[in-house]
Structure 1
């Protein structure tokens, strides 16, 4: 199995454990809503464009609500099976679904009041670093300060924004969640106090 497939299986296990009504880090979405989103992304080519393009968002929302109304166990099984043969994501699953699986797994894990960060194995951490480096700079390009993303080992992942320097230090998974706009992260911020506050409050993501 690939890293993406392993993480998909782990996410499916977590979804079964928390149940359909569990909160997530995606505003207004329960675990059921998030699972429906992932199914639409992979199974409904007619509706998936609305995930990124606002002009098609209405159709996507309608289809997603229809999927979310289905049987929970069937939904989780469908997600766990991965992209169908007709999906463009089938051939590139190991590459494009690395971030999707890890971020959404943490969306579910950290959705409630009590959560703990995970310690990933070396292979998973390495798999995250590639897309993190590719996307990190773009995600923080409009930051209200010059943001430096750095690992605890001192490896610089990306730099973006303008103004006072704010260094954000953390494990690759935590940095990935940060650039995707998640607030529940384990990170160290250093720099000007006002600049740090502005960076934390700024919109991030894609």
Structure 2
């Protein structure tokens, strides 16, 4: 299978692992308070420790809970006990066979946005970064993720919320129908970053 024909989720995993390996464990990321070592440990624990998933899931909803503290403790244990290169190698190799995140369909649904977002968290914290030029097919896949994430971001703008693709004329998705509508425009990857709360690095226009 050529690089271009590999699923986006697999390419994002490989490129993110390459970047984390090249940056080493102490580089900054756009995740507040996290280095690249924190980010790598988070991604590995997420795939390999089922007992971490409930805490990570409620954290995504903005809920602090004892389960979340346990998930972060597992991440810290891995980060402090294993060399960065080993943690990145586990990320690169993917989840174990018994993990549901190893199922191709579920991996595509759950991991594509996760890897794309965290790939940019690592990239855009470094000097001189520029947006990636992604193929149309990749942007189409990320568009669906951006729409899904935006449903949780409606409270961040006054009135309703619309997403508009800047790379495809006329493609608009109404997320909420309150008035007046706020329109956030950009390429799907940028809209996904904005919808995930990364206002400071997402290249979007809000009107």
* CA distance in 2 between partners of 1:17 and 1:158 (Å): 40
* CA distance in 2 between partners of 1:129 and 1:62 (Å): 33
Structure 2 residue 131 is the aligned partner of structure 1 residue 117: yes
Partner of 1:193: none
Question: Structure 2: any 5+ residue segments left out of the alignment?
Answer: 1-5, 59-64
Matches within 5 A, 1:7-18: 7-18=12-23
Structure 2 residue 154 is the aligned partner of structure 1 residue 141: yes
Kept in 2, the 8 Å contact 1:143–1:160? The answer is no
Give the total of aligned pairs: 189
Partner of 1:165: 181
Kept in 2, the 8 Å contact 1:8–1:80? The answer is yes
Q: Could you give the per-residue CA deviations for residues 31-68 of structure 1, whole angstroms, max 9, x where no partner exists? A: 10011000110001122221123230121121110111
Structure 2 residue 38 is the aligned partner of structure 1 residue 62: no
For structure 1, which segment, 71-80 or 107-116, has the greater mean C-alpha deviation from structure 2 after superposition? 107-116
Task: Return closer, same or farther for 1:161/1:25 CA change in 2, 3 Å cut-off.
Answer: farther
Give the TM-score of the pair, scaled to structure 2.
0.85
| RMSD between superposed Cα atoms in Å | 1.6
Q: Could you give the per-residue CA deviations for residues 152-174 of structure 1, whole angstroms, max 9, x where no partner exists? A: 12311333374543221100000
* Alignment partner of 2:86 out of 47, 61, 74: 74
User: Which stretches of structure 1, 4 residues or longer, exceed 4 Å deviation after superposition?
Assistant: none
* CA distance in 2 between partners of 1:59 and 1:149 (Å): 35
* CA distance in 2 between partners of 1:181 and 1:80 (Å): 26
* CA distance in 2 between partners of 1:130 and 1:175 (Å): 10
* CA distance in 2 between partners of 1:185 and 1:129 (Å): 14
* CA distance in 2 between partners of 1:26 and 1:147 (Å): 25
Matches within 5 A, 1:27-106: 27-53=32-58, 54-69=65-80, 70-91=82-103, 92-106=106-120
Question: Structure 1: any 5+ residue segments left out of the alignment?
Answer: 191-206
